[in-house]
Amino acid sequence: MFDVLKRLLVGRPLRSERLGDTLLPKWLALPVFCSDPISSVAYATEQILLTLALGGAGYLSLSTPVAGAVGLVLIVVVASYRQTCYAYPSGGGAFVVSKENLGETAALTAAAALLVDYVMTVAVSVVSGVVAITSAFRSLAPHAVGISVGFVVLIALVNLRGVKESGKSFALPTYAFIALTFAMFAVAIIRGASGDLPQAETANLPIEQTTHVGGVFTLMLAARAFASGCTALTGVEAISNGVPAFRKPKPHNAAVTLAMMGVLAVLMFAGITVLAVHLNAHALPDGNPSVISQVAGSVFGHGTVVFYLFQAATAGILVLAANTAFNGFPGLASILAKDRYLPRQFYNRGDRLVFSNGILILALFAILLIIGFDANIDKLIQLYIIGVFTSFTLSQLGMVVHWKRELATVTDPARRRKIRGSQAINTFGAGLTAAVLVVVFATKIVHGAWLAVAAMVLLFFLMRSISRYYKKVEAEVDAVDWDPTLPPKVHALVLISRLHKPALRALAFAKATRPDQMEAVTVAADEAETRALRKQWEERGLQTPLLVISSPYRDVVRPIVEHVTRLRTKDPRGVVSVFVPEYVVRHWWQNLLHNQSAFRLKYRLLFTKGVVVINVPYHIGGAGEGWWSTDPNAKPKAQATEVKA
């Protein structure tokens, strides 16, 4: 049943050689990797206005220069990451760049920052999309948490079906949002020129004037607004992480897509900010209605078909912006797992050639975050950005070192000039993003960003611990200069509860391994059953000795473990092989009808050195194999003995 449901939701498995069929052209890569930075323009302006409103109406005039500064940073970061696409076509982004040029500590810092930020991206994007929905249909506001969780599950399922399928699914909302946004700009210009452009619905909202005045307060408020507006840069690094997902030539196509994203994001962010200022749109603390909804309502008219189409496109792009993280997180987790910084399960591709485990873990943590913060966008947004600019800064510093190494080996003048140009871009980018990181840290740390920092620190030490563990295991199991020898003695134990087909099969298999010593073991938890077993044993004339261990407290597992321990103590160099007959049923629910003592026993013996536990399956409802049978007349006959627990 599980397999049928899995095929229905995820689709049929794809062969490994079809990985090339899942590679993305530029027009599909844009919605897959760039929906996050493009969608950020829908709430970046709002965050700037909301912050500046803390100082009163007079400070709202700073929104345009603050937005201009954010746009400049976006242009520089895009230009910097284009260099990364060409220099590191295998992907990995900030982690790989930092590891090769700055060392393990910087690499793990960048990786932790990115992983935390990807989780934040999913939560913030989906909740922002739900805010857009509730701005149009305000009766849905009380159900924001449930709607948000449902969207995360839906996006995860689409991504589990494959990267290319997710790109096709998400292309329409992305391109619809882009087209309708530029249409809104065109309509605004036309209506503005004719004097027919009404003010936003919150234009006359009274804003209290703060008593704090002066240059220091203005600077601090502008810095905080700038930090909030830098949400427009989230997801820019996703393309450099996912270069291998592009069609050939991979680096060129990735760099072109990144440039397209940069142009669109800057133009849309600037246009929305200018319109919001011109229409006197105010950001409300609960985000309902959102600034972009107010702008669209003024331009298209509230209640018009185009207004609702725009709201639907906005909600769609905001929700689907989480798809950027669903591509970035699993890919980065796979690279980290390959380098033994995360569990190996994250390295493996699933049935649809995607990193399924990474997708599922990302969805789980995003859902927990949404529930924990009650789908409150203002609280969630405070945790954002620090991880982004940490990875930005480390990536750019790593690229500066990379180009320095290149200059040390390249002698061609033309090539050296090109390298120096790239180095200059990354140097400027590193300085700028480092400055932004300081501003973001100083302005957001007391407003909740410390939680993101704590998560990054925890993840950093977790990855380092995982790496140390894998290195320790590798050193222990390394077979270099190791000559395996056969154990001097093998003592076989066959666990028996009743003399039935599974027990006879286990006896036959144990005998086929030709141990030095062999005995059947039963625990006398029920005297009547033990007497019946002894009688059957002697009647069948089985040659294997039957050892009966008494258990006055009716415990089955502990007496066997103690007996195995005694054997190991008696012969420390020998090996004890424990053969466990086990039912294999056709349906999962049938397991509930059988005793699970075999599982508990295997778990206990697993941690005992010198003990090998062997499952001997018996398929309920399956046909038996003749070679499993035992000879009931085998000689000599064994005598049953009893050991007191």
* pLDDT over 50 at 345, yes or no: yes
Q: How far apart are CA 142 and CA 312, in angstroms?
A: 19
Average pLDDT of span 289-295: 86
* pLDDT over 70 at 568, yes or no: yes
Q: How confident is the model at residue 2 (pLDDT cuts 50, 70, 90)?
A: very low
pLDDT value at position 257? 92
Q: Are residues 310 and 197 in the same domain?
A: yes
What the block records as the tokens of 182 is: 């530029």
pLDDT value at position 210? 57
Higher-confidence residue of 53 and 506: namely 506
* pLDDT over 60 at 64, yes or no: yes
pLDDT value at position 576? 93
What the block records as the tokens of 412 is: 């061609």
Q: Are residues 388 and 516 in the same domain?
A: no
CA angle (51 as vertex; 45, 54 as ends), nearest 5: 140
pLDDT value at position 16? 46
Q: Are residues 441 and 507 in the same domain?
A: no
* pLDDT over 60 at 395, yes or no: yes
* pLDDT over 60 at 13, yes or no: no
pLDDT tens digits, 76-123: 889 888 888 888 887 767 888 999 999 999 999 999 998 998 898 899
What the block records as the tokens of 257 is: 């897509």
Helices first, then strands: H and E counts in the chain = 23, 6
pLDDT value at position 204? 76
Instruction: Tell me if 483 is assigned to some domain.
Output: no
Among 165-169, 256-260, 423-427, 438-442, the minimum mean pLDDT is found in 165-169
Q: How far apart are CA 381 and CA 444, in angstroms?
A: 10
What the block records as the tokens of 462 is: 């977790």
Average pLDDT of span 489-510: 90
Average pLDDT of span 488-514: 90
Q: How confident is the model at residue 263 (pLDDT cuts 50, 70, 90)?
A: very high
Average pLDDT of span 275-291: 81
Single residue among 436, 471, 506 that ends a domain in this structure? 471
pLDDT value at position 14? 53
DSSP per-residue codes, 139-192: GGGGGHHHHHHHHHHHHHHHHHT-HHHHHHHHHHHHHHHHHHHHHHHHHHHHHH
Instruction: Tell me if 19 is assigned to some domain.
Output: no
Q: Are residues 355 and 500 in the same domain?
A: no
Single residue among 416, 436, 471 that ends a domain in this structure? 471
Q: Are residues 466 and 494 in the same domain?
A: no
Q: Are residues 426 and 530 in the same domain?
A: no
pLDDT value at position 622? 59
Higher-confidence residue of 253 and 587: namely 253
Q: How far apart are CA 106 and CA 450, in angstroms?
A: 20
In whole angstroms, what separates CA 432 from the centre of its chain? 29
Look up the pTM and report it. Answer: 0.75
Q: What's the CATH number where 499 sits? A: 3.40.50
Expressed as residue numbers, the domain containing 612 is 490-643
Q: Are residues 455 and 510 in the same domain?
A: no
Q: Are residues 448 and 558 in the same domain?
A: no
pLDDT value at position 459? 96
The proportion of the chain whose per-residue pLDDT surpasses 70, expressed as a percent, equals: 87
Q: How confident is the model at residue 318 (pLDDT cuts 50, 70, 90)?
A: confident
By the 8 A CB rule, do 93 and 240 touch? Answer: yes
Residue located via tokens 């033990």: 530
Domain total in the chain: 2
Average pLDDT of span 262-272: 93
* pLDDT over 60 at 269, yes or no: yes
By the 8 A CB rule, do 486 and 570 touch? Answer: no
Amino acid at position 369, single letter: L
pLDDT value at position 351? 59
Instruction: Tell me if 566 is assigned to some domain.
Output: yes
Instruction: Tell me if 14 is assigned to some domain.
Output: no
Q: What's the CATH number where 99 sits? A: 1.20.1740.10
Q: Are residues 331 and 391 in the same domain?
A: yes
Average pLDDT of span 440-462: 88
Computed from CA positions of residues 533, 538, 543, 546, in that sequence, does the dihedral angle turn out positive or negative?
positive
Q: How far apart are CA 101 and CA 405, in angstroms?
A: 9
DSSP per-residue codes, 49-103: HHHHGGG-GGGGGGHHHHHHHHHHHHHHHHHHHHHHHHH-TT--HHHHHHHHHT-
Instruction: Tell me if 609 is assigned to some domain.
Output: yes
Q: CB-based burial of residue 582 (10 Å sphere; 0-12 exposed, 13-18 middle, 19+ buried)?
A: middle
Q: How confident is the model at residue 626 (pLDDT cuts 50, 70, 90)?
A: very low
Which run of H or of E encompasses 347?
none
Alpha helices in 235-385 (DSSP H): 238-241, 250-278, 291-300, 305-320, 322-338, 356-372, 377-381
Instruction: Tell me if 10 is assigned to some domain.
Output: no
Q: Are residues 324 and 414 in the same domain?
A: yes
Q: How far apart are CA 114 and CA 395, in angstroms?
A: 11
* pLDDT over 70 at 623, yes or no: no
Q: Are residues 321 and 384 in the same domain?
A: yes
Instruction: Tell me if 179 is assigned to some domain.
Output: yes
* pLDDT over 90 at 526, yes or no: no
* pLDDT over 80 at 267, yes or no: yes
Name the residue among 169, 58, 92 with its Cα closest to residue 391: 92
Instruction: Tell me if 2 is assigned to some domain.
Output: no
* pLDDT over 90 at 455, yes or no: yes
Q: Are residues 171 and 250 in the same domain?
A: yes
* pLDDT over 80 at 484, yes or no: no
